[in-house]
A and B are shown apart, each in its own frame.
Chain A
Amino acid sequence: MTSVDQVRVVRGDRSDWAPLMELATREVFAMILGCQLTIPETGVEGSFDATSMVGLAGKLCGILTFACSAKSATLMATKMLGVAADEGSREVLDALGEICNMVAGNFKNKIAGLADGCLLSVPTVVTGKNYSLHSLADVAALEVRLLFEGMLIIISLRTNS
């Protein structure tokens, strides 16, 4: 049975979750890639031809996406592996999926009531720009923008109300 506190957390104002999403992402990059993310200045634009997605089910239903450029994804894989990764290779896709998975897991573990009651799907990675994402989740995306080695990355969360 869901407690009152847990319901309050799940139904709460999700804009409050942005700092937790940012922290969850920063921790993954610091611990696993050994680098610090920075805050982008207003107007910074990026290229987003690599997107990883993880589904959430249970007390929180929706989808978390992690979007960056192919160049960023390759550099992330290189930092994770400790050796140069080839752009578009299986290892780069694997690295991007794992980053999204860790961000999603780390994020939900920071919210009371979600660590136990929210399950994650296996990540899916989409490459290319010419696609539209149509999630059945109906609450506007919570979005966090950060810079990785000077390149913009966007982490978004769409949830069911």
Chain B
Amino acid sequence: MPIRALIIDDSSVMRKIVTRSLRQAGIDLSQVLEAGNGAEALAILQESKVDLILCDINMPVMDGLEFIKQLPGVPNAKDVPVVMITTEGSESHVVQALSCGARGYIRKPFTEEQVKDQVIPVLAGKQ
């Protein structure tokens, strides 16, 4: 079933790479929304519903961890799964992201297979 995804990254090039990786991983995207930081993403989610959120951590204005903390307050998005995609690879960052509510964690640089391994189970509700 086609899904709507929101991709949050301050790099427009990375947003396009993530979109392409999702498609190459076999995920059927009916719509892709993009935001350059957490605040932009929260504004988009006030108006739009999505099925999946992929979010960077290090971003200006509002970072990914602050975004995920504020997500439960958005009626359209409180149950939407979030997968973090970031250069921060430490165990403490992973633990922090997961404790804030993230359902998956992908380290940059990533392969198509790593995207598939993290996103497919999340969409299937297995994690």
Which A residues form the contact surface with B (CB < 8 A)? Answer: 27-28, 31-32, 77, 80-82, 90-91, 94-95, 97-98, 101-102, 104-106, 109, 115-116, 120, 122
A91–B12 touching, CB < 8 Å: yes
Ordered by A's residue number, 11 sampled pairs between the chains whose C-beta atoms are within 8 Å are A31-B110, A31-B111, A32-B110, A80-B16, A82-B20, A95-B13, A98-B11, A98-B14, A101-B87, A102-B109, A106-B108
B11–A120 touching, CB < 8 Å: no
Partner of A106, one of B11, B58, B87, B91: B87
In the complex, what residue of chain B is closest to A91 when comparing beta carbons?
Answer: B13
Known A31-B109, A97-B11; judge A120-B87 contact (CB<8 A). yes
Tell me, in angstroms, the Cα distance from A81 to B17 when the chains sit together.
7
Provide the residues of chain B in CB contact with A115, threshold 8 Å: 88-91
Provide the residues of chain B in CB contact with A101, threshold 8 Å: 11, 87, 108
Tell me, in angstroms, the Cα distance from A109 to B86 when the chains sit together.
12
Pairs of residues from A and B, 4 with the lowest C-beta to C-beta distance, nearest first = A105-B87, A109-B89, A115-B90, A31-B109
B107 close to chain A: CB less than 8 A? yes
B30 close to chain A: CB less than 8 A? no
Provide the residues of chain A in CB contact with B89, threshold 8 Å: 105-106, 109, 115
B87–A102 touching, CB < 8 Å: yes
Tell me, in angstroms, the Cα distance from A131 to B14 when the chains sit together.
28
Q: Closest CB of chain B to A3's CB: distance in Å?
A: 15
In the complex, what residue of chain B is closest to A30 when comparing beta carbons?
Answer: B109
Interface string of B32-56 (1 = CB under 8 A from A): 0000000000000000000000000
Range of interface residues on B (Cβ < 8 Å): 20 to 34
Tell me, in angstroms, the Cα distance from A95 to B14 when the chains sit together.
8
In the complex, what residue of chain A is closest to B112 when comparing beta carbons?
Answer: A31
B residues 11-31 in Cβ contact with A at 8 Å: 11-14, 16-17, 20
B60–A122 touching, CB < 8 Å: yes
A109–B90 touching, CB < 8 Å: yes
Of listed A27, A32, A77, residue having the most chain B CB within 10 A: A32
Q: Closest CB of chain A to B34's CB: distance in Å?
A: 13
In the complex, what residue of chain B is closest to A29 when comparing beta carbons?
Answer: B109
Tell me, in angstroms, the Cα distance from A94 to B9 when the chains sit together.
11
Tell me, in angstroms, the Cα distance from A46 to B50 when the chains sit together.
46
A81–B16 touching, CB < 8 Å: yes
Tell me, in angstroms, the Cα distance from A114 to B115 when the chains sit together.
25
Provide the residues of chain A in CB contact with B92, threshold 8 Å: 116
In the complex, what residue of chain B is closest to A92 when comparing beta carbons?
Answer: B13
In the complex, what residue of chain B is closest to A82 when comparing beta carbons?
Answer: B20
Q: Closest CB of chain A to B106's CB: distance in Å?
A: 11
Interface string of B74-112 (1 = CB under 8 A from A): 000000000000111111110000000000000111110
